[in-house]
Amino acid sequence: MIGFEHMKKISRMSPSKIVLLVIDGVGGLPHPKTGKTELESAKKTNLNHIAKESLCGLIDLISPGITPGSAPGHLAIFGYDPVEYNIGRGIIEALGIDLELQPEDVAARGNFCTVDSKGIITDRRAGRISTEKNAELCQLLNKIDVNGAEISVVPVKEHRFVLIIRGEGLSPELADSDPQQVGLAPKKIEALLPQAQRTAGIANEFVSQAKGLLRSARNDIPSANMVLMRGFSQRPDIPSISEIYKLKPAAIAVYPMYRGLASLVGMEVLPTGNSITDQLESLRQHYGDYDFFFVHFKSTDSRGEDGDFEAKVQAIEELDNALPSLLSLNPDVLIITGDHSTPATLARHSWHPVPFILRSRWCRPDNVTEFSERACLAGGMGRFPAIEIMPLAMANALKLDKFGA
């Protein structure tokens, strides 16, 4: 990798267009009965057709054996070293609901949860309360007054909210209170560095007051009687896609976290409906206004996390069926890959590398004729780090000058 400073020097603007389609969690594992992965099981005429004309490979998002969270997975695809730019969950949640953050704000992800009379967690999601109930509870928690900082509690979806602590001299170096499993009590929030002691005090005071309010008569949802906090973080100093690559980038994503991630790296977040057809219609409408598009397809990951092999296969087929409208735009560079694997057999994110295809007038096609894990392994890129995708995209769009004389 040549580094962003060099990339800034050799990148140039041009009319060519790059479309990056991320199929969340698309990589899988063989079904025990058929020996075929979700991708190998799906009917996917369009994906296979594109693979035939593409440079293919398998990407490692972080490195072999390391399972990526959604944020590092996407950051790697966007060209950022996911270890160097390790962005906190709190910040991503905040960005995903369009919160304006100041550089020193500390953000955390919160869950409403259920604890029993001994304070032991019995449901980490408070019975998945409705988003409306969540909003009422957040209004209640916004009454919290803590010495030395301003507190805002903003609802996300269902049981999730964002806590923003605003003030001077704050530090995000705090451990989670969320033990990530039932049967344990929420943990006291610990400072990971001495300079975070004061912020830890503020965060614990918030939790303590929240507990009181949620158990008071002012809360009429008994399942939501406690909060779990995680991912304390500050907005990172991250160079934007346009600064590095001279691109004018846009994102078409339904879920908040992915919109937040896209906005963090300087993409314009476009309005879209919820289906992939809606998303591709949004792409078509805005196609003239940008030269880089990130399109995020979510349901492959959701069905994988549900452990529903067949439903994940159907999600792939749904995507494949929607592709002709994208193909009719004939982008100069089309990249299709995923941010991690979510094998239905594991029912969670996994470390397995993810199929990658890149089609352009200037790619050197290989012998791969199928978009799948096994087939792409024989591709022209072999197995490679995801952070090399952006340079490849730029090269194939003829947006890079040569390096050195």
Would you say 335 and 393 are in contact if contact means Cβ atoms under 8 Å apart?
A: yes
Q: How far is CA 203 from the centre of its chain?
A: 26
Which lies closer to its own copies via its Cβ, residue 2 or residue 193? 2
Burial 297-328 (b: 16+ CB within 10 A, else e): bbbbbbbbbeeebebbbbbbbbbbebbeebee
Which lies closer to its own copies via its Cβ, residue 87 or residue 252? 87
* Number of residues binding to its own copies, judged by CB under 8 A: 63
User: CB under 8 A: which stretch of 1-9, 139-147, 150-158, 264-272 binds its own copies?
Assistant: 1-9
CA distance 67 to 63: 8
CA distance 379 to 349: 24
Binding residue for its own copies (CB under 8 A) from 43, 45, 66, 188?
66
Q: Does 103 participate in binding its own copies (rule CB under 8 A)?
A: no
Would you say 61 and 376 are in contact if contact means Cβ atoms under 8 Å apart?
A: no
H helix or E strand, kind and range, residue 292: strand 292-297
Would you say 31 and 309 are in contact if contact means Cβ atoms under 8 Å apart?
A: yes
Would you say 36 and 370 are in contact if contact means Cβ atoms under 8 Å apart?
A: no
Q: Does 3 participate in binding its own copies (rule CB under 8 A)?
A: yes
Burial 20-29 (b: 16+ CB within 10 A, else e): bbbbbbbbbb
User: CB under 8 A: which stretch of 170-178, 188-196, 289-297, 357-365 binds its own copies?
Assistant: 357-365
Binding residue for its own copies (CB under 8 A) from 161, 349, 356, 372?
349
Shortest CB 280 distance to its own copies, Å: 26
Of 121, 141, 47, 101, the residue nearest 355 (C-alpha): 47
Binding residue for its own copies (CB under 8 A) from 222, 273, 324, 382?
382
Q: Per-residue contact track with its own copies, 77 to 96, x per CB under 8 A?
A: -----xx--xxxx--x----
Binding to its own copies, residues 360-379 (CB under 8 A) = 362, 364-367, 373-374, 377-378
Q: Does 65 participate in binding its own copies (rule CB under 8 A)?
A: yes
CA distance 250 to 253: 10
Binding residue for its own copies (CB under 8 A) from 19, 50, 59, 71?
71
User: CB under 8 A: which stretch of 118-126, 216-224, 279-287, 343-351 binds its own copies?
Assistant: 343-351
Binding residue for its own copies (CB under 8 A) from 4, 255, 287, 384?
384
Q: Per-residue contact track with its own copies, 16 to 35, x per CB under 8 A?
A: -------------xx-----
* Strand ranges (E), 116-236: 121-123, 150-155, 160-166, 226-233
* 3-state secondary structure (DSSP) of residue 141: helix
Binding residue for its own copies (CB under 8 A) from 110, 231, 249, 256?
231
Binding residue for its own copies (CB under 8 A) from 160, 259, 303, 352?
352
Binding site for its own copies (CB under 8 A): 1-3, 6, 10, 29-30, 37, 62-72, 82-83, 86-89, 92, 109, 231, 346, 348-353, 362, 364-367, 373-374, 377-378, 380-384, 388, 390-396, 400-405
